Amino acid sequence: MSAAYIALLVIGAVLAVSLIGLILLHAPKGDGMAGIGAAATVFSGKRGAEAGLDRLTWIVFGLFMLDCLVVGFGFVK
């Protein structure tokens, strides 16, 4: 195993933990039991912080998938 392969494995682990944390930071989207009755609320659009969090989550997801593809297909050994 080369140093690049080990570095990609470590980067993949860091990205995975980061992705889990970012997903847990998102606000819940469902109304739960309130969605059944008339108490459901509808929000139009996302706030700035939530839109930034979405963008960051997608970026980390893309980097994680790229890392998985590089390691999985054996481009670096």
Lowest mean pLDDT among 13-17, 19-23, 48-52: 48-52
Q: Is residue 19 within 8 Å of residue 64, measured between CB atoms?
A: yes
* pTM, full prediction: 0.77
* Torsion over CA: 67, 68, 74, 77 (sign): positive
Q: What is the largest CA-CA distance in the chain?
A: 60
Residue 27: half-sphere exposure toward Cβ, Cα within 13 Å: 10
pLDDT band at 37 (very low <50, low <70, confident <90, very high): low
